[in-house]
Chains A and B, each alone.
Chain A
Amino acid sequence: MPAPPLHSLFESNDHIAVIDGTREHSFFGIQLSARVLAGRLMRLNLQPGDRVAGLLPNSAQAVVAFLAAARAGHSYLPLNTGLKTPELETMFRKCRVQAVLCSAATASAMPDSGAEIIPVDEVLADTGANPPAAKEVDLDPDREFVCLSTSGSTGEPRIVARTAGAVDANARHVKAGLDISADDRFLSVVPFWHANGFSNCMLTPLFSGASIITLNRFLPRSMLEAILEHKPTVVVGSPFVFQALAQVIEPLSDLRHVRAWISSGAAIPEALDARLRELRIEVRQLYGSSETGTVSISSGAHTRMGNVGKPLDGVRVRIIDDDGREVPQGQPGHVQVSGAALYREYIGEPGEDASITGDGFYRMGDLGWQDLEGDLYLTGRSDALINVSGVKVDPLEVQQVLSSMPEVRQSLVFGAKDRNGLEMIKALLVAEGEISTEEVLRYCRDRLAEYKLPRTIEFVDEIPQDLMGKTPRSLLEN
């Protein structure tokens, strides 16, 4: 009889699970802490399947929080610790969050939503706490196991629900795709609230018995020191992370212990790729989404830009034209993905899901093509999401906040390239009377996480629009 999905997540042994600063935590220690925290959750008398949010930086506690929620039979929603109160309120309401696992320092900042606030560090510091007897974890493949936030194009964040079966499928795909074993050590600065950070940098290593090196803040020199000290075999980042690392890595640094450098979230610019190769770093591009899990990982060999590799075993990719017909290999179109790792639903969005085709393919929102060998190449987005160092921002969400300012008559938010070729958020505002940039930023800062704020705000007399009320992309690019 096959083992239930994800059973290996709950195994206990002396192997190192997490290196958090200077502390090493074994799988035994992590699982014991998770049982203690799960016991705390179980005393709340929540129902199986209730949702528990986690607001913790990348750390051993973040790993424990996730395992505890899973052990207690709940669905886990990792959230960005930088979210502001209105954003958290939206998330908690939409997901009907029943409990929040956070740090003692942030507990008082949680919105008053009725959810039970549990400071993880205080629970685990109680050395008198006895873990409940280990009970079998519900690993029904159809059980909702995790919820991940993503950006929609509707002005409000979306949350995808993924089953244990789907999460297991993704872990298996990535484990096989990267040939991960218990001998691997993952170092990633991708936040664990992000789909890639959660699924590929935390869950998949745990699933595979590998070790995770956590850094709760990204500073290039500190990350480089951690790479040289802890000798990870897999390093995961975004184009921005690699851009910054390239500025501090000495040309003769011995980094041969890293067998896989993985970048996700956006394409590595060509100039950065060339610079990294001079440093003997071949970056592999990982492609996926909150909805699909990981779709593909490139080989890293010098190939055409835009290459994101062949779909992982178990993942099906097709390219569709504007009329919904599959195109021959070599021709461009809209990328669609299917497989066992697909999400189940968007939480709080009843009715038909327009993102899924009638035959079960998810519309990625990306444009691309496949070559005769099956390698996938991405050529752009078909929607307007802004990609801020691998995190998608819905310009409509930012625009709605700006437009809610009484002093703003009209606003337009879009992505603009910075001097390194990476996308930043820019806003054009037509103001009623006098208003300053600082007033705008202060207003937005009360309502939006910092990464959603415009890097540049320009006050204009009018925002050019065509007859359809849209601002042509060509005008924005100029």
Chain B
Amino acid sequence: MNAPDETRAAILQLMAERLRLEDKALEHLRANGRLDDVTAADSILIVELVLALEERFDIRFEPDDIDADLICDLDRLTAFVSAARPGS
């Protein structure tokens, strides 16, 4: 598995744990890459995920980085996290 794939897998696992996604929802997310297909992506969820991602990957989100689509689009989020990770 290359680095972006590992990052994507780690993000999926984090989302599954933090949001308590059911297997069916996780499967859809893995296949279609849209978090807002399986849950409401309100400001609370966005903040919860940002905190979790910052802690997990030792990165930092700035307010200008954030739009709902970044958090909901797994490909975009993976690219962002991959680029922001220390050593990348």
Contact = CB atoms under 8 A, between A and B. Distances in A.
B47 A438 contact: no
A388 B44 contact: yes
B51 A248 contact: yes
B47 A220 contact: yes
B43 to A, nearest CB: 7
A388 B42 contact: yes
Contacts of A215: 63
A453 B63 contact: no
A218 B44 CA distance: 9
A80 to B, nearest CB: 11
Interface in A440-464: 441-442, 445, 450-451, 453-456
A31 to B, nearest CB: 28
Nearest to A422: B44
B51 A441 contact: no
B6 interface: no
A450 B35 CA distance: 13
A221 interface: yes
Contacts of A456: 39
Scoring B44, B45, B61 by chain A CB atoms within 10 A of each residue's CB, the highest score goes to B44
Given A244-B47, A450-B68, A221 B54 contact: yes
B37 A441 contact: yes
Contacts, number: 70
Contacts of B66: 217, 219
Interface centre among A220, A424, A455 (most CB of B within 10 A): A455
B47 A218 contact: yes
B37 A221 contact: no
Given A219-B61, A425-B40, A441-B37, A455 B45 contact: yes
A221 B60 contact: yes
A239 to B, nearest CB: 11
Given A218-B47, A219-B61, A221-B54, A454 B25 contact: no
B25 A445 contact: no
Interface string B20-50: 1000110010001010111111111101101
Contacts of B63: 215-217, 219, 222
Contacts of B20: 419
Interface string A232-255: 000000001000100110000000
A400 interface: no
B54 to A, nearest CB: 7
Nearest to B47: A244
A90 interface: no
Given A219-B63, A222-B62, A438-B28, A450 B51 contact: no
Contacts of B40: 425, 441, 450-451, 453-455
Contacts of B42: 388, 450-451, 453, 455
Interface of B, secondary structure class, is helix
Contacts of B61: 219, 221
B37 to A, nearest CB: 4
Contacts of A219: 47, 50, 61-63, 66
A437 interface: yes
A217 B43 CA distance: 9
Contact of A445 (B36, B38, B43, B50): B36
B72 to A, nearest CB: 10
Contacts of B32: 438
Contacts of A437: 24-25, 28, 37-39
Nearest to A223: B63
B62 A450 contact: no
A269 B34 CA distance: 32
Nearest to B36: A441
Interface string B54-67: 10000011110010
B84 to A, nearest CB: 14
Nearest to B32: A438
Contacts of B44: 240, 388-389, 422, 424, 451
Nearest to A424: B44
Contacts of B24: 437
A438 B34 contact: yes
Given A219-B66, A438-B37, A451 B51 contact: no
A231 B58 CA distance: 27
B43 A451 contact: yes
Given A217-B66, A437-B37, 13 more contacts: A217-B63, A219-B50, A220-B47, A222-B63, A244-B47, A437-B38, A438-B32, A441-B37, A451-B40, A451-B42, A453-B42, A454-B40, A455-B39
**Complex A-B, nearest 10 residue pairs according to Cβ-Cβ distance, in ascending order:** A453-B40, A438-B37, A451-B42, A450-B42, A217-B63, A455-B40, A222-B63, A244-B47, A219-B63, A389-B44
Interface of B: 20, 24-25, 28, 32, 34, 36-45, 47-48, 50-51, 54, 60-63, 66, 68
Interface of A: 215-222, 240, 244, 247-248, 388-389, 419, 422, 424-425, 436-438, 441-442, 445, 450-451, 453-456
13 contacts: A215-B63, A217-B66, A219-B47, A219-B62, A221-B61, A248-B51, A389-B44, A425-B40, A438-B34, A438-B38, A441-B40, A451-B42, A453-B40
